[in-house]
Structure 1
């Protein structure tokens, strides 16, 4: 593995509490044939694993080995360099399958889905062309992974489980009009954001009921055996209907408030207990997490691997899907607030339709583009302006946020992912860990094992000292639970005050002045990710357990830099981009990722792209709820 010769021991003044920033800153033909064959094999292998987002029929990802045998010219190439290079190749493969006309789009739909497109597919594609949308069929895989199990429910039963009588928050379409029904509080104002998009599309939409989750937390955890059987059954019954059988018009739905003959469906909500225990029932029987019980959150220490993460390539994320799969990483039960104590648990093991903005890989929620990505609030969208040119940005990392992620308590806060993230990016905390002066009761992390990631600074004395020159990472609120009765100040928290310095927020547009912007989970997904990609012009360092609507259209190592959810790889990543003595080659790679991320977001993460995704999802769900769904479809003269 390539090792930088940079001396990371720049003298600095450490900043005390954990927040703040210091500005000290063979025969010729035979060889040729072998190299060509090796390159083709390596590219194909990498292409398969780096972008494997598609759910298998058995709900298990295959573990793909990365053949990293270098060619002669690449023998000393850093692993990150290889990951970047093959991400670029994969992007080219995807774009080569772009549909530029309706006929091609229909062919590729049928090839990938095994069915005819839904009715009104032509109107959807016409809208896409008018808005210069990039249409690659793989971009919509998430829709079918989410909906396929629902094909095993009869349409009548599916309508019973999705209607306004069964849910607190529903968007209904009737006679080309969108109707919003909310019976309880929507504190984040998410329903109006989603309703507005559906309202804009309503003139093209069939009658449908869309039950919506307005909570941060994802909700549905159907056990693996049931989902596996449903996915197998759906795949076995899938077919392209002969032209003579196709019906091209939706049947429609009964009156909005008419309760089904069978009565409302009993969802059987679960409001307490261990979320990890519920989640591991959704894991395949032979997966690492299936038989691992939850930790004792009040007594057990953190379970943090300090070697290369499972399934990584020399320590770095090589498969974005697997890196987010809690079934493959049992240690996450002690390292993420979702599995310690989420703000609320209101989940079910029943298969019901419920639309929301994000979910864990094991959840059965149906994904919409998140409401925060549709918002124009400065907290999530900045001021709408773009960040400065790369050469005008500071060579550093900036992050501000609240200590969210669940209910952190005096006995449990060291298990929370945001607390760990802030400590691991703070020079003082890392320096104290290196010297053994960080108290055990305040330790959220462990440093990489010596020899892993070829970090120069520890060998020279102080990783923490170097971090203090390049990172500005701090909480703006500590969010104690419960809040001390003698204080209404959310910035104060007796059990974490000794370890964290609360600092003022930095407006999003000001954060764009730094070259590196980390983005990590809060209570669920981070609402800033789209704005960071779309507007900042900086490199986004992304860590998350949550799936979102856009995962199939964003390429890790090309549009953003993926982080393992332990953050154990963050030092190697920062060293690669910020501390290598390579005549600026690695920084040029960073600049390219920043540029590619922004340019690509301008093409595939626009409001029009989110509307197109919701439109297609609604067409597919409406077909599922229709009594004639098995013969419903779009058909044209060329494919009849």
Structure 2
């Protein structure tokens, strides 16, 4: 007898005839098959399981009767092959049919998910739950990263040469000495500096010193809310060299720069940094859009060890997409920047999308790139606020800002803002609230009728959490164990899941909004506004969401130190991104939150807390805290900025060779 020869029967408690037929059949099996076992196995009247064996080639037939709070899941019998059927008997007006199903005795083959170059894993329903794979893959990658770390200056120089194809900067030995004395971990993981500066390496260093470019930089230094730090001589201290006109107090304008300078002086490393001059922006957001054509030419020349004359740069371009490769999805897929967010821009964001359209992040930096994910241009305030995008310059302008994005040429520094050493951290098992927690302000963009603020990321987060409760969700792999197929998902009602599993809300009242055009009132009416939560109250939650605000999330340091399992959504690579491992220290989440229900349900479980992975949640939370205490200290911030300024001083020198470190 094969699987296809087995008939699927049904049973209703309100059908005595059907019950009689079933009981009679079971009795016959008992009489004629001595190996029948486990006819009835139950703990109480709300959890009953019938099991019987049919033929050697067919596996047990299983009915599971389970009470879930107001949750009913009924699909076609074919969807349940290889799975248990969960039904809520208590909440149904009429008790449903329960499907007998036959399972193959041998487990079905587990197929692979697809790791895409855009940073996303495409789910294969015939694979095991992808989060098992992602955790295992990233734990292995983290161990490799630790084991391969350079142990002495010689190894560090060789690794630098291997990664970047050139010698380290002058002063690298002093930097290495600092790293060793202060136990700075992962001394090779500074690829973000390379990504930020590589385009400038393709520019003729003489061009960087020309009167025209110097005049241009000096002119840019006078732009509003720009200031410059540096030193004129090797023996000079690093100071603020220049400030521009600003509407804010000067102390506030230069606060970040002064904090960086103070840390360098605290550890007495500023003396080893050669003369340099670098501009800072006081804004939270990045400033200088990237002109892909010019930047790419610089990168290509840098790879070859050649340069090109900047005077041949192209004219101004316009729009976010001019920051992207012409062959990237952002250029090949049309986007209407004046229309509301189109449903077809990303069909997988539909909470009822088929499982084979679901994706998870496997490379967080790649997943942040709007060139590969053009829906981000219509889903994040960083981009929505400028519609199709601002004009890009025809120069390569070196400038440090707080939140560089993939579409900007701004340089990343290690920002000390909101740095803390430790924070309130209750034991995991003492945390009684298993809802996903977020509380904050409606930042991300100015809310007014002349902006499409309703498309932005924090508004989308609130819609995800608080609106659309009459809809249904398809949750991936509830109850799917390791080594089992994840299947086609479980359909649940948002009206029951959202209030029971989420505590996400704006705090206080609307800010950054236009009162005259009614936007503030619209915001107040649109969502439930909740009270603020203290640090002690926040410590009661096992799960916390971290979401970008006006720019990067400055609360991430505090959050990851709490041992909570952090779900992080961002479009901003940061100085520590290469030194932090997704799925080991935190759970990466896509900006449109299309994967958040699936990820959260995997860790938390269903409404009863069943089928979750509390042990993995606890592990990620503990590993995140451990990483924060060992890899995000003041010493680690100093190590990054020390190395950044060594690299920058060489880059801007007219004689880069003499500004390189030579060990022989």
2:156 to 105, 119, 137: 105
Partner of 2:196: 146
Partner of 1:173: 231
1:417 to 425, 449, 457: 457
| Larger strand proportion of the pair | 2
Q: Distance in 2 between matches of 1:211 and 1:512?
A: 39
Partner of 2:76: none
Partner of 1:392: 430
Relative to structure 2, which stretch is displaced further, 539-548 or 471-480? Answer: 471-480
Distance 1:461 1:83, change over 3 A: closer
Partner of 1:537: 563
Is the counterpart of residue 237 in structure 1 residue 276 in structure 2? Answer: no
Distance 1:497 1:135, change over 3 A: closer
- Report matched runs for 1:359-374 at 5 Å: 359-372=404-417
Partner of 1:341: 385
Q: How far off is 1:414 after superposition?
A: 2.3
- Report matched runs for 1:29-68 at 5 Å: 62=117
Is the counterpart of residue 467 in structure 1 residue 498 in structure 2? Answer: yes
CA contact (8 A) 1:453 1:569 kept: no
CA contact (8 A) 1:358 1:370 kept: no
CA contact (8 A) 1:100 1:135 kept: no
Q: How far off is 1:458 after superposition?
A: 9.9
Structure 1 unaligned spans of 5+: 12-37, 50-61, 240-264, 435-447, 487-491
Is the counterpart of residue 483 in structure 1 residue 515 in structure 2? Answer: yes
Q: Distance in 2 between matches of 1:42 and 1:99?
A: 34
Distance 1:298 1:233, change over 3 A: closer
Is the counterpart of residue 453 in structure 1 residue 476 in structure 2? Answer: yes
Q: Distance in 2 between matches of 1:525 and 1:146?
A: 17
Partner of 2:603: 577
Q: Distance in 2 between matches of 1:286 and 1:76?
A: 31
Distance 1:387 1:347, change over 3 A: farther
2:546 to 495, 514, 519: 519
Compare relative contact order (CA 8 Å, sep 6+) and give the higher one, 1 or 2: 1
CA contact (8 A) 2:547 2:553 kept: yes
Q: How far off is 1:471 after superposition?
A: 1.5
Aligned residue pairs total 526
Q: How far off is 1:204 after superposition?
A: 1.7
2:403 to 352, 358, 362: 358
Distance 1:64 1:420, change over 3 A: closer
Distance 1:345 1:500, change over 3 A: farther
Partner of 2:260: 194
Q: How far off is 1:560 after superposition?
A: 0.6
Partner of 2:59: none
Distance 1:584 1:123, change over 3 A: farther
Q: How far off is 1:635 after superposition?
A: 2.6
CA contact (8 A) 1:398 1:514 kept: yes
Partner of 1:498: 525
Deviations 1:282-327 (A, max 9, x none): 1111111115555354756566634279999952112212211101
Partner of 1:560: 586
Deviations 1:70-115 (A, max 9, x none): 9xxxx87321111111110111111121112111111111121211
CA contact (8 A) 2:381 2:550 kept: yes
Structure 2 unaligned spans of 5+: 1-63, 72-108, 480-487
Partner of 2:74: none
Distance 1:269 1:536, change over 3 A: farther
Match of 2:162, SS state, is helix
Q: Distance in 2 between matches of 1:512 and 1:212?
A: 35
Deviations 1:115-141 (A, max 9, x none): 11111111101111111111342x101
What do you get for the CA RMSD once the two structures are aligned?
Answer: 3.9
| Larger helix proportion of the pair | 1
Q: Distance in 1 between matches of 2:128 and 2:374?
A: 32
Distance 1:107 1:313, change over 3 A: farther
Q: How far off is 1:408 after superposition?
A: 2.4
CA contact (8 A) 1:280 1:291 kept: no
CA contact (8 A) 1:222 1:364 kept: yes
Q: Distance in 1 between matches of 2:120 and 2:335?
A: 29
Q: Distance in 1 between matches of 2:491 and 2:423?
A: 42
Match of 2:526, SS state, is coil
Distance 1:42 1:79, change over 3 A: closer
| TM-score normalised by length of structure 2 | 0.71
Deviations 1:155-180 (A, max 9, x none): 34435458666413111123330111
Larger Rg, first or second structure (1 or 2)? 2
Relative to structure 2, which stretch is displaced further, 186-195 or 173-182? Answer: 186-195
